[in-house]
Structure 1
C-alpha cells in the first residue's frame, strides 16, 4: 500500500509567486502610468509653450517701459502698475466693463434659462426651427453683426425710423453719440448674440434631468413654478455656474462690440478695458509694457471673479 506524500510549500515560496505590487516603473501599473504620461507629454508641452510661456513673457514685459521696441526695465519695476492707479481712462473703461457685466450677464442668463425651459416642452411644435433661430446669432461673425447694429442704430437708421413712425420719439436719437445710449446699444448687441449660446447649455442640462423627480413633485401637488424653482433649478446649478463663469470672463475681455459698434466713444465712455489695452498697445504711442500691465490686471480680475463664483456656487456637502 503506497502512501501519498503531500509536498510542503514554504510561506516564502507563496510570497515569491505573488504578482507585482504595481509600484515602480518595472511593474505593470508603473508601465501603464508611464505610457499615460508619454501620451500626455506632447499636449502638456504645447500648453506650456503656447500659453504659460507667453504669460511669463507678458509679466516680464509689464516691468518694462519705453516706446515701440525701445524697452528697458522700469525704475522701480512696478512703475507701470503705479501708473495704473493714476490713469483715469483705465478706471473709466474698467467701470464701463463692470457695468456691462452687472447688467448684461444676469439678464442674458435669465432669458436663456426661460427660453430653454420653453423649448424643452415636449408638446411645443417646430422645436428644431425655434432652437435654430435663437442659436443662429451665435454663428454670425462678430464684425458682421456689429456693423449691422451700427447701421441699425445710426441717426438715420432703422431703429429711429421705426420709433418715429410709431410716434414714440419726436426726433431721431443719436444712439452711438451719447454715453448711455451707446452703452445701451452694446448691451443689446451682447444680449442678441450670446443668449442663444447659453440657452443651448441649459437645454442640454434640462434634457439630462431625471424626469421622475419632476413627476414626483407634481404628484406632491407642486405647480409648474414651484417644480421649476425647487426641483429643476437645483439640478441645473452646475450648468448655471459654468455659464456664469464663461459669460463673466467673456464680458471682462469684451473687445469686438466696443471696437466695431461705438469705437469706444463718445470720449472713451463706452470703451471696454480690453479695447483700451488695444489702444495703448497699437494706437496711442505704442507702450507694450504698460499694456502688459493692464492685461495682468484683467487676468487678476477674471481669476478673482471666477474664484468667487466657484466659492458661492459650490455648496457640496
Structure 2
C-alpha cells in the first residue's frame, strides 16, 4: 500500500513539474517564425549564392565557376551603374541629412506652435505609396506640361528637360529621394534632440554661450550616435536604390540613372540571366558591408 501511495505522489509531482516548467513550450512559439525565416530568408540567400556560380539556360543550370564574377568586372554597364549610384549617394545623403537636422531643430523649438501638425506633414512622404508619388512627380516634372516648368517660366527660366537628359534625370531622382526620406530622418533627429538633457543648455547659458555656440558645442556632439545611425542607414538605402529611378526614368536616359539594383533587376527579369544577376547581388552586398564598416570605424567604435 505504501509503495502505491509513493508512486502516485511521484507521478503527481512529475506531472506538476511538467506543467509548470515545460522546457519544450518555447520551441512551439518560435518554431513557425523560425521555419518561415528558413524558407523565405535563409534558403533564398544560399540558393542565390550557389546560383551566382552557375549559368541558367531555360530550366537547365550548369556550373561555370567564377566566370560570372570575372564577367562582371569587365562589364561597362556595371561600372556605369556603380558610378551613378555613388554620384547620387554623395550628393543626396548630405543634403537630405542637413535638411532633416534643420527641420528637427525647428520643430524642437519651444516657440513653435502646432508641432504635431508639422511633424505629421513632414513625415507623410515616408508613408506615401512610392508608385503614386512617382507618377505625381512625373506629371510635375514633365518638360512640356509640368507644373514645375510652368512656374519656372514666370521667372524667365526656359523649360528644363527633367526626365529626358542625363544631368537633369539624376537631379530629378535626387529631388524625389530627398522629398521622400527627409521627414523620416527628421523624426530620428527629433528623437535624439529630445533625449539631450536640458541641464546642459542651462549651464551653457549661465556661462554666456549663445544659441549658435550651444548648437555646435552641445547639440552636435550629443547627436553623434544619431548621425552615425542615419548616415549608415541612408548609405545602405542609397546603395539599394531602385524604386525612384526605375519608375521615373527606367534607368535612362542613356543609362544615366541606371543604379546597381536597377541593373540587377533588368539582368534577372528582362534578360533572364539569373546567374549573372546573383553575382551582381553578392558584389553589392560586399560593397555595402565594406562601406558600412569604414563609416563605423571613421566615427569611432562607440
The CA deviation string for residues 101-155 of structure 1, in whole angstroms up to 9 with x for no partner, is: 1000111111101110110011111111111111111111111111111111111
Which residue of the other structure, out of 49, 74, 79, is the alignment partner of 1:86?
74
1:185-196 correspondence to structure 2 within 5 Å: 185-196=172-183
Tell me which residue corresponds to 1:100: 88
On the 8 A contact 1:66/1:287 being kept in 2, the answer is: yes
Is the contact made by 1:113 and 1:202 (CA closer than 8 Å) also made in structure 2? yes
Pair 1:155 & 2:143 matched: yes
* Mapped pair 1:308 → 2:294: yes
**Structure 2 CA distance, aligned partners of 1:296 and 1:290?**
10
Question: Is the alpha carbon distance of 1:131 and 1:82 closer, same or farther for their aligned partners in structure 2, counting shifts above 3 Å?
Answer: same
Quickly say closer, same or farther: Cα 1:238–1:41, change in 2 above 3 A. farther
| Superposition map of 1:15-164 within 5 A | 43-74=33-64, 77-156=65-144, 157-164=146-153
Inter-partner Cα distance in structure 2 for 1:259 and 1:43: 33
- The answer to whether 1:201 aligns with 2:191 is no
2:276 to 277, 283, 290: 290
Q: Which runs of 5+ in 2 are unaligned?
A: 1-20
Equivalent-residue separation in structure 1 for 2:33 and 2:294 (angstroms): 29
The answer for unaligned runs of 5 or more in structure 1 is 1-30
Structure-2 separation of matches of 1:67 and 1:197: 43
Following the alignment from structure 2 to structure 1, what is the Cα–Cα distance between the partners of residues 58 and 166? 32
Shift of 1:304: 1.1
1:251 shift after superposition:
0.7
Residues in 2 aligned to 1:257 and 1:35: alpha-carbon distance in whole angstroms? 46
Question: Could you tell me how far apart the structure 1 residues matched to 2:223 and 2:94 are?
Answer: 16
Aligned match for 2:156, one of 155, 163, 167: 167
Query: How much has 1:313 moved relative to structure 2?
Result: 2.3
Q: Output the aligned Cα RMSD.
A: 1.9
Q: How many residues end up aligned between the 2 structures?
A: 281
Q: What whole-Å deviation, never above 9, does each CA across 1:181-218 have from its counterpart, x for those lacking one?
A: 00000000000010000000111111111111121112
**Separation in 1 of the partners of 2:214 and 2:22?**
48
Tell me if the contact between 1:214 and 1:232 (Cα under 8 Å) persists in the aligned partners.
no
